[in-house]
Amino acid sequence: MADRKLLLIGSVAAVAVLAAGGIFLAQSQGGDAFAQCRQSTVAGGMDSFGTEFTLTNQYGERVTDQQVFDKPSILYFGYTFCPDVCPLDSARNAEAAAILADRGLDAQTVFVTVDPARDTPDVVKDFVSVFPGDMIGLTGSDEEIAAINKGWRNYYKLNNEEDDEYYLVDHMTNSYLVMPGNQTVEFFSRDVSPEQMADRVGCFIDAAG
Protein backbone atom coordinates (compact mmCIF):
# COMPACT_ATOMS: atom_id res chain seq x y z
CA MET A 1 0.00 0.00 0.00
CA ALA A 2 2.86 2.33 0.90
CA ASP A 3 4.62 1.50 -2.36
CA ARG A 4 1.46 2.23 -4.31
CA LYS A 5 1.09 5.57 -2.53
CA LEU A 6 4.70 6.48 -3.30
CA LEU A 7 4.16 5.53 -6.94
CA LEU A 8 1.07 7.72 -7.12
CA ILE A 9 2.89 10.65 -5.54
CA GLY A 10 5.78 10.17 -7.95
CA SER A 11 3.43 10.12 -10.93
CA VAL A 12 1.73 13.33 -9.82
CA ALA A 13 5.10 14.97 -9.33
CA ALA A 14 6.23 13.91 -12.79
CA VAL A 15 3.07 15.34 -14.38
CA ALA A 16 3.62 18.59 -12.50
CA VAL A 17 7.20 18.83 -13.76
CA LEU A 18 6.08 18.21 -17.34
CA ALA A 19 3.31 20.81 -17.03
CA ALA A 20 5.73 23.34 -15.60
CA GLY A 21 8.14 22.63 -18.42
CA GLY A 22 5.40 23.18 -20.96
CA ILE A 23 4.43 26.48 -19.36
CA PHE A 24 8.06 27.59 -19.33
CA LEU A 25 8.50 26.67 -22.99
CA ALA A 26 5.35 28.55 -23.99
CA GLN A 27 6.47 31.59 -22.01
CA SER A 28 9.99 31.46 -23.44
CA GLN A 29 8.50 31.44 -26.96
CA GLY A 30 6.09 34.23 -26.06
CA GLY A 31 3.12 32.05 -26.97
CA ASP A 32 4.32 32.20 -30.57
CA ALA A 33 2.60 29.50 -32.63
CA PHE A 34 5.17 30.05 -35.39
CA ALA A 35 8.29 29.88 -33.22
CA GLN A 36 9.47 26.61 -34.78
CA CYS A 37 9.24 28.13 -38.26
CA ARG A 38 11.04 31.43 -37.76
CA GLN A 39 14.58 31.82 -39.06
CA SER A 40 14.75 35.62 -39.30
CA THR A 41 15.30 38.01 -36.43
CA VAL A 42 14.88 41.76 -36.65
CA ALA A 43 14.91 44.63 -34.19
CA GLY A 44 11.41 45.16 -32.87
CA GLY A 45 10.26 41.72 -34.04
CA MET A 46 8.22 40.81 -37.09
CA ASP A 47 5.13 42.36 -35.48
CA SER A 48 6.69 45.75 -36.23
CA PHE A 49 6.22 45.17 -39.97
CA GLY A 50 3.05 46.01 -41.85
CA THR A 51 0.33 48.61 -41.99
CA GLU A 52 -3.26 49.00 -43.11
CA PHE A 53 -3.64 50.30 -46.67
CA THR A 54 -5.91 50.90 -49.60
CA LEU A 55 -4.21 50.63 -53.00
CA THR A 56 -5.15 50.04 -56.64
CA ASN A 57 -4.69 46.59 -58.15
CA GLN A 58 -3.77 45.75 -61.75
CA TYR A 59 -7.45 45.82 -62.75
CA GLY A 60 -7.94 49.37 -61.50
CA GLU A 61 -9.86 48.25 -58.41
CA ARG A 62 -9.30 49.83 -55.01
CA VAL A 63 -8.46 47.10 -52.51
CA THR A 64 -7.61 47.03 -48.80
CA ASP A 65 -4.94 45.04 -46.99
CA GLN A 66 -7.64 42.71 -45.64
CA GLN A 67 -8.84 41.96 -49.16
CA VAL A 68 -5.32 41.39 -50.46
CA PHE A 69 -4.04 39.25 -47.60
CA ASP A 70 -6.87 36.73 -47.52
CA LYS A 71 -4.39 33.84 -47.76
CA PRO A 72 -0.67 33.37 -47.01
CA SER A 73 1.08 35.89 -49.26
CA ILE A 74 4.67 36.40 -50.41
CA LEU A 75 4.99 40.19 -50.59
CA TYR A 76 7.64 41.99 -52.66
CA PHE A 77 8.38 45.68 -53.34
CA GLY A 78 9.87 46.56 -56.72
CA TYR A 79 9.16 48.32 -60.01
CA THR A 80 8.42 47.20 -63.54
CA PHE A 81 11.26 49.12 -65.24
CA CYS A 82 13.75 47.24 -63.05
CA PRO A 83 16.29 45.66 -65.43
CA ASP A 84 17.00 42.39 -63.62
CA VAL A 85 16.54 42.14 -59.84
CA CYS A 86 12.77 42.60 -59.67
CA PRO A 87 11.90 40.14 -62.45
CA LEU A 88 14.23 37.52 -60.98
CA ASP A 89 12.90 37.96 -57.45
CA SER A 90 9.30 37.93 -58.65
CA ALA A 91 9.96 34.76 -60.67
CA ARG A 92 11.52 33.11 -57.60
CA ASN A 93 8.50 34.02 -55.47
CA ALA A 94 6.08 32.72 -58.10
CA GLU A 95 8.04 29.46 -58.35
CA ALA A 96 7.89 29.03 -54.57
CA ALA A 97 4.11 29.51 -54.66
CA ALA A 98 3.88 26.92 -57.46
CA ILE A 99 5.88 24.42 -55.40
CA LEU A 100 3.51 24.99 -52.49
CA ALA A 101 0.52 24.43 -54.79
CA ASP A 102 2.01 21.10 -55.87
CA ARG A 103 2.16 20.19 -52.18
CA GLY A 104 -1.49 21.07 -51.71
CA LEU A 105 -0.77 24.34 -49.88
CA ASP A 106 -2.45 27.58 -50.97
CA ALA A 107 -0.28 30.72 -51.11
CA GLN A 108 -0.13 33.73 -53.40
CA THR A 109 2.37 36.37 -54.50
CA VAL A 110 1.91 40.14 -54.20
CA PHE A 111 3.93 42.80 -56.02
CA VAL A 112 3.85 46.42 -54.79
CA THR A 113 5.49 49.06 -56.95
CA VAL A 114 7.89 51.64 -55.54
CA ASP A 115 7.53 53.66 -58.76
CA PRO A 116 3.87 54.72 -58.98
CA ALA A 117 4.51 57.53 -61.49
CA ARG A 118 5.38 55.03 -64.22
CA ASP A 119 3.67 51.94 -62.85
CA THR A 120 0.03 52.55 -63.69
CA PRO A 121 -2.43 49.67 -63.21
CA ASP A 122 -2.08 48.69 -66.87
CA VAL A 123 1.73 48.65 -66.68
CA VAL A 124 1.63 46.63 -63.47
CA LYS A 125 -0.85 44.24 -65.09
CA ASP A 126 1.53 43.59 -67.99
CA PHE A 127 4.36 42.95 -65.54
CA VAL A 128 2.61 40.52 -63.19
CA SER A 129 0.94 38.65 -66.04
CA VAL A 130 4.37 37.29 -67.01
CA PHE A 131 4.51 35.22 -63.82
CA PRO A 132 2.37 32.17 -63.05
CA GLY A 133 -0.03 31.94 -60.17
CA ASP A 134 -2.20 35.05 -60.57
CA MET A 135 0.24 37.43 -58.92
CA ILE A 136 -1.48 40.48 -57.41
CA GLY A 137 0.00 43.81 -58.53
CA LEU A 138 -0.56 47.00 -56.55
CA THR A 139 0.06 50.67 -57.21
CA GLY A 140 -1.30 53.95 -55.87
CA SER A 141 -0.49 57.59 -55.26
CA ASP A 142 2.96 58.71 -54.17
CA GLU A 143 1.65 59.15 -50.64
CA GLU A 144 0.01 55.71 -50.54
CA ILE A 145 3.12 53.99 -51.82
CA ALA A 146 5.31 55.89 -49.35
CA ALA A 147 3.02 54.83 -46.51
CA ILE A 148 3.00 51.12 -47.32
CA ASN A 149 6.77 51.08 -47.79
CA LYS A 150 7.18 52.78 -44.43
CA GLY A 151 4.92 50.15 -42.87
CA TRP A 152 7.18 47.35 -44.09
CA ARG A 153 10.34 49.36 -43.37
CA ASN A 154 11.28 49.16 -47.03
CA TYR A 155 13.82 51.71 -48.27
CA TYR A 156 13.55 53.05 -51.81
CA LYS A 157 14.85 56.09 -53.70
CA LEU A 158 13.96 57.30 -57.18
CA ASN A 159 16.99 58.47 -59.19
CA ASN A 160 14.95 60.75 -61.42
CA GLU A 161 16.70 64.07 -60.86
CA GLU A 162 18.20 64.19 -64.36
CA ASP A 163 15.91 61.84 -66.27
CA ASP A 164 12.24 61.51 -65.44
CA GLU A 165 11.58 58.74 -67.97
CA TYR A 166 14.36 56.13 -67.90
CA TYR A 167 15.52 56.44 -64.29
CA LEU A 168 16.34 53.54 -61.98
CA VAL A 169 15.14 53.09 -58.41
CA ASP A 170 17.23 52.00 -55.45
CA HIS A 171 15.23 49.69 -53.18
CA MET A 172 15.48 46.83 -50.73
CA THR A 173 14.91 43.35 -52.11
CA ASN A 174 13.45 41.38 -49.20
CA SER A 175 10.28 39.37 -49.63
CA TYR A 176 7.85 39.05 -46.73
CA LEU A 177 5.45 36.34 -45.68
CA VAL A 178 2.16 37.91 -44.67
CA MET A 179 -0.51 35.67 -43.16
CA PRO A 180 -4.27 36.32 -43.44
CA GLY A 181 -5.30 39.35 -41.43
CA ASN A 182 -2.15 41.29 -42.39
CA GLN A 183 0.24 39.54 -39.98
CA THR A 184 3.84 39.62 -41.19
CA VAL A 185 5.67 36.60 -39.80
CA GLU A 186 8.89 36.20 -41.80
CA PHE A 187 11.11 37.72 -44.45
CA PHE A 188 13.38 36.21 -47.10
CA SER A 189 16.57 37.58 -48.63
CA ARG A 190 17.52 37.22 -52.29
CA ASP A 191 19.75 34.21 -51.68
CA VAL A 192 16.84 32.00 -50.58
CA SER A 193 15.96 29.48 -53.28
CA PRO A 194 12.38 28.74 -54.38
CA GLU A 195 12.55 25.35 -52.65
CA GLN A 196 13.85 26.86 -49.41
CA MET A 197 11.18 29.53 -49.50
CA ALA A 198 8.47 26.94 -50.12
CA ASP A 199 9.72 24.84 -47.20
CA ARG A 200 9.71 27.82 -44.84
CA VAL A 201 6.35 29.17 -45.99
CA GLY A 202 4.90 25.68 -45.76
CA CYS A 203 5.98 25.46 -42.11
CA PHE A 204 3.99 28.60 -41.31
CA ILE A 205 0.94 27.39 -43.21
CA ASP A 206 1.02 24.05 -41.39
CA ALA A 207 1.49 25.79 -38.01
CA ALA A 208 -1.49 28.04 -38.71
CA GLY A 209 -3.61 24.92 -39.08
- How many H helices and E strands in the chain? 6, 9
28 has a pLDDT exceeding 50: no
27 has a pLDDT exceeding 50: no
Nearest to 79 by CA among 123, 20, 21: 123
206 has a pLDDT exceeding 80: yes
Round to whole Å and give the CA distance between 86 and 78: 6
Nearest to 183 by CA among 86, 75, 93, 98: 75
> How many angstroms separate the Cα of 35 from the Cα of each of 32, 132, 152, 165, 179?
5, 30, 21, 45, 14
22 has a pLDDT exceeding 50: no
pTM for the whole thing? 0.83
> Given pLDDT bands bounded at 50, 70 and 90, which one contains residue 209?
confident
Quick one: average pLDDT of 38-43? 76
Round to whole Å and give the CA distance between 106 and 202: 9
57 has a pLDDT exceeding 80: yes
Report how far Cα 71 is from the mean position of its chain's Cα atoms: 11
- Give the strand pairing for 108-113 and 73-78: parallel
- Give the strand pairing for 108-113 and 169-171: unpaired
pLDDT of 43 reads 67
Quick one: average pLDDT of 89-99? 98
Quick one: average pLDDT of 191-200? 98
Average pLDDT in the chain:
87
Dump pLDDT digits (tens) for 146-191. Answer: 999 999 999 999 999 999 899 999 999 999 999 999 999 999 999 9
> How many angstroms separate the Cα of 91 from the Cα of each of 100, 129, 153, 155?
14, 11, 23, 21
Greater confidence (23 vs 11) lies with: 11
67 has a pLDDT exceeding 90: yes
- CA quadruple 75, 109, 141, 83: dihedral sign: positive
Greater confidence (16 vs 110) lies with: 110
